[in-house]
Structure 1
C-alpha cells in the first residue's frame, strides 16, 4: 500500500488511511476545526491521487476503526458479501469510480457490488467524484422500500409531512397536517418531532395521527421522533405506529452518546416487526448528518464524510424504510457555507444509495450559518435530479419547533413538476379521490385548502 506521491514538484506522504481519507476530502469546516483537513488544494489533490490507487482490500484491511474496538466497524464488516468481495477486492478506488460512472454499468450492476463495500470504500470513491459525478452515479441506483405503502419507485417522488408544533398542541399539529395533505405531501410518512419526549405524549401523538389516517383512509405511515427507547415503551403500552425512528452515527461512541447501540436497535427492530401497524418488511427510520460525531467529540480524528458513510453501513443491517440526511442542521462548525452544504448533501445521497439505502434528503440550514434559501433550493434541485426518494414537507419551509429551514409544501409540488414525478401509487390514488391532484400529477384548484377535511366549520 503506497501512501505517498510527488505532485507539482513536491513530495507528499500520508501516515495512514485515516489521514489520507481526511486530506482527500473536499473542504469542510468540521475537518478544519479538527485540524485534519488538507492544508491547501495541492495537498488535497495529492491525497486524491494516492487514494485513487489504493486497493479496495487495503480499505477493508485498514479501517479507520478496528472491528475489535468498534461495533459499527464490526456490523459493517459482517454484512460484506464475501463472494462479491473476492471479485472486486483488487480493484483500485479509481477502478470503482470508473465502473460506477461507465455508461454501460447499470443500477443493478452497482447494487450488486455494493454488497461488498464498506464505509471506507464508499467514502473513498465519493471523494474522487465531482458534483455531477455524484448526481449521475446516484441517479442510476433505484431503491424502493415498503412499510404500509411503497416509496422510491420509478417515476415517484415522496415527502415526509412534518407538522411539528412548539407545544405539541394536537390542534396545531392537526392544522399543519391537513394543510400538508391538501398539498399532496405525506406519502413517505407523517412524522412529528415532539417537544415532550415522555411515553404518554409520544403514545398520544402516535395514536392521534393513526386515528386521523384511519378516518380518512390515508395510505401512508406514521412516526413520532422521540428517542427510540421512548417509542418502544409507547408501543409496549399499545400505541399504533408504523415505523420506529432513531438518529445514528458512524462510531460506537457517538451512538452511545445518542443513547443507542446495536443490541438496542436489534430489540427495537424485533418489536416493531411484531407490534407495528405496518406489514413491512421495512420498518425503521434513521436520520443522519455529517459532523454529528465531531459535535459529540466522538470522531476519533476521522473526517466527517467518512464517518457519514460508515453510518449508512451500520443502518443497512436494519433494512430501513426511510433514511434521510440533515447535514446542514448542525451549523457552521461542521459545514460553513452553502457551497459546503450542497457538496455534503450530494455526497451523502450518493453514499447512501451506493450503500444500498432508500435515501431521502433534507437539504436544510439554520439561520446562524452562511447559507440561504437559494443554496438550499440549488441542493434540492440537484438531489431531485440525482433521484432522492423523498424530502421533508414543512409549513412555509420554516420549522417553528426545531427553528431551521427546510423544504415547504409548495417546494414539494414544484419539485414533482420539475422532474415529472408523481406521489407513491397508493397515495396518488387517494389524492385523486380527494380531488387534490389531477391525473397528470399536478395539483388541482382544490389543493392547499385544508377545509376539505371540514364539515359545517368543524373537522369531519
Structure 2
C-alpha cells in the first residue's frame, strides 16, 4: 500500500508498511529490539503513533500483515471476519476507535457485539495508542463468560487456576499441593498440572488421580493435564477422564507448526472432547496458553512486532470457544520482556486485546529469575488486572513453581485480590466452599485448623457428601 510518512516536530519519518508502523508505535520492549523492529528513538515512536492514529480500520482488512496465501491464521482472521459486527466502526480510524472505546457509549453490551467485527491487528493497533489506565478502563467493560462445571468471567468474580506441579509427577505431591490450594479457595477455573513427563501413560495416571479427588469431594471444577494436544487425543481414545484439552498456540501458522499443531488438529481435539459430554453447566472444552515472544523465538513472526503477533493468537483461540485462555506474560524471559515495567505493560495489553476480541482471558502473573523484575512488580500487575476484570489468575504453592522453575502467583495472592477488590470465586465453587464450611457468608476463607471436620475429611481422602 506504499509508505507511511509523518512530519513530526520538523523531522520527517518514513515507515515502510503497516507492519513497520505498528512495530515502531509499540512501547519499548526487548523482544522488538532483538528482532530489529523497534523504534530507534522516542521521537520516532511518537511519530509512528501519530501515523497509526490516522490509519482507517478498513486498512487492516486490505493490507494483511502476513500474506493470505501462505498463512492459515491470516485466512482464519479474514474468512471469519463478521462484516455486520464491524459496521458500527467501519468508518473509524484507529484513533477514533480509541476515543469511542473510552467513551460512555461503549457499553459492555456494545463491546460484546463488536468483538467478532474486530481483527487482532485492529485490537493491537488501538492498544498502542493507550496508556495503562486506558487498557484497564476498556478491558473492565468487556465481559466474556464461559462454563464447564463452573462459570468463569462473571462480574464481581475472580477465578483461579490451581497449579500443583511436581518435578517428578509424584501423585502424592500433586495431591498435597492441590489440597493446599483448595484450603485457600483456589481452583475454580481449573486444577491444571504441567506434567514433567509428557507422555500418554503419565497423562492418564495424573488425570485419573485428579478426577478421583474431584469426584470424591464433589468439587465443581475441571481438571486438566497440560499435555500436548496430540497426546490428549490419544488419551481420550483410551477412555481417560479428559475435561479440558490444552495447547500452547501462537499467531502464525509457522509458529504453531513449531508447537506441533495446526487448526485441523485443534478441531479434531475439540470434537473429541465435546463428544465426551463431561461438562455439567457448559461445553467450553478448550484451554489455550499464549505469550508475547513465542513467534519471535521460533523465528516465525514475519517481521511483525511481538505484541501484534501475540494478538493474532487470540483469533485462533476464539475460534474454538475455549473455557480458558491465559498469557504466560513473563515466562518466556527478559530477551522478550526485559523488566517489571515491560511485563506489566504486556500483561495489560494481552488482557485488553483478548477481551476486546471476545476471548476469556486470564494471566499468569509471573517472571523468571533472570529478569529485572521482582514480587513487587507482580503485586502491581495482579492488582491492576484485578481492577481490569481479568477472568482468572494462576496460583502455585508459595508462588514458586518447583517444576517449571519460575515465579508465579501464590494461593494467598488470590485471597489478597478477592478481599481487597471485593471479588469472589465462581458461584458454583463458592457454594461448594460454603457447604464445606471453608468460607464465611462474605465469601472469605476461614482459617482452618487440623481438627476442622473439612480438613480431616480432605486430608484423610474420605468420601462424603459435603
Q: Normalised by the size of structure 2, how large is the TM-score?
A: 0.96
**Structure 1 runs (4+) greater than 2 angstroms displaced:** 84-90, 447-460
Output the CA distance in 2 between the equivalents of 1:103 and 1:456.
48
What does the per-residue CA deviation read over 1:107-139, in whole Å, with 9 as the maximum and x for residues that have no partner?
Answer: 111121221111110100000000000000100
Displacement of 1:104 in angstroms is: 2.7
Task: Evaluate the alpha carbon distance shift between residue 131 and residue 71 of structure 1 in structure 2; reply closer, same or farther with a 3 A threshold.
Answer: same
Displacement of 1:89 in angstroms is: 2.4
Output the CA distance in 2 between the equivalents of 1:175 and 1:453.
12
Tell me the equivalent position of 1:76: 77
Q: Give the alignment of 1:294-443 within 5 angstroms.
A: 294-443=296-445
Output the CA distance in 2 between the equivalents of 1:147 and 1:425.
13
Any idea what SS the aligned residue of 1:38 has? coil
Q: Which runs of 5+ in 1 are unaligned?
A: none
Task: Evaluate the alpha carbon distance shift between residue 152 and residue 162 of structure 1 in structure 2; reply closer, same or farther with a 3 A threshold.
Answer: same
Q: Residue 182 of structure 1 contacts residue 450 of structure 1 at CA under 8 Å; is this kept in 2?
A: no
Q: Give the alignment of 1:46-445 within 5 angstroms.
A: 46-279=47-280, 280-445=282-447
Q: Residue 398 of structure 1 contacts residue 408 of structure 1 at CA under 8 Å; is this kept in 2?
A: yes
Output the CA distance in 2 between the equivalents of 1:450 and 1:20.
60
Tell me the equivalent position of 2:14: 13
Q: Residue 277 of structure 2 contacts residue 283 of structure 2 at CA under 8 Å; is this kept in 1?
A: no
Alpha-carbon RMSD: 1.6
Task: Evaluate the alpha carbon distance shift between residue 441 and residue 226 of structure 1 in structure 2; reply closer, same or farther with a 3 A threshold.
Answer: same
Higher mean alpha-carbon deviation, 54-63 vs 345-354, is at 54-63
What does the per-residue CA deviation read over 1:299-338, in whole Å, with 9 as the maximum and x for residues that have no partner?
Answer: 1111000001101011110011000011200111100000
Any idea what SS the aligned residue of 2:13 has? strand
Task: Evaluate the alpha carbon distance shift between residue 452 and residue 299 of structure 1 in structure 2; reply closer, same or farther with a 3 A threshold.
Answer: same
Any idea what SS the aligned residue of 1:219 has? coil
Any idea what SS the aligned residue of 1:246 has? strand
Q: Residue 179 of structure 2 contacts residue 458 of structure 2 at CA under 8 Å; is this kept in 1?
A: no
Q: Which runs of 5+ in 2 are unaligned?
A: none
Output the CA distance in 2 between the equivalents of 1:307 and 1:451.
51
Displacement of 1:78 in angstroms is: 2.0
Any idea what SS the aligned residue of 1:115 has? helix
Higher mean alpha-carbon deviation, 161-170 vs 293-302, is at 293-302
Output the CA distance in 1 between the equivalents of 2:266 and 2:31.
28
Q: Residue 326 of structure 2 contacts residue 363 of structure 2 at CA under 8 Å; is this kept in 1?
A: yes
Output the CA distance in 2 between the equivalents of 1:451 and 1:92.
61
Q: Normalised by the size of structure 1, how large is the TM-score?
A: 0.97
What does the per-residue CA deviation read over 1:198-253, in whole Å, with 9 as the maximum and x for residues that have no partner?
Answer: 10110111111111100000000010001011111111101112111000000100
Task: Evaluate the alpha carbon distance shift between residue 230 and residue 457 of structure 1 in structure 2; reply closer, same or farther with a 3 A threshold.
Answer: closer
Task: Evaluate the alpha carbon distance shift between residue 448 and residue 243 of structure 1 in structure 2; reply closer, same or farther with a 3 A threshold.
Answer: farther
Q: Residue 182 of structure 1 contacts residue 448 of structure 1 at CA under 8 Å; is this kept in 2?
A: no
Higher mean alpha-carbon deviation, 330-339 vs 438-447, is at 438-447
Displacement of 1:459 in angstroms is: 3.1
Any idea what SS the aligned residue of 1:94 has? helix
What does the per-residue CA deviation read over 1:257-311, in whole Å, with 9 as the maximum and x for residues that have no partner?
Answer: 0000010001011000002522532110000000011111111111000001101
Any idea what SS the aligned residue of 1:23 has? helix
Q: Residue 192 of structure 2 contacts residue 226 of structure 2 at CA under 8 Å; is this kept in 1?
A: yes
Q: Give the alignment of 1:37-52 within 5 angstroms.
A: 37-52=38-53
Output the CA distance in 2 between the equivalents of 1:456 and 1:145.
28
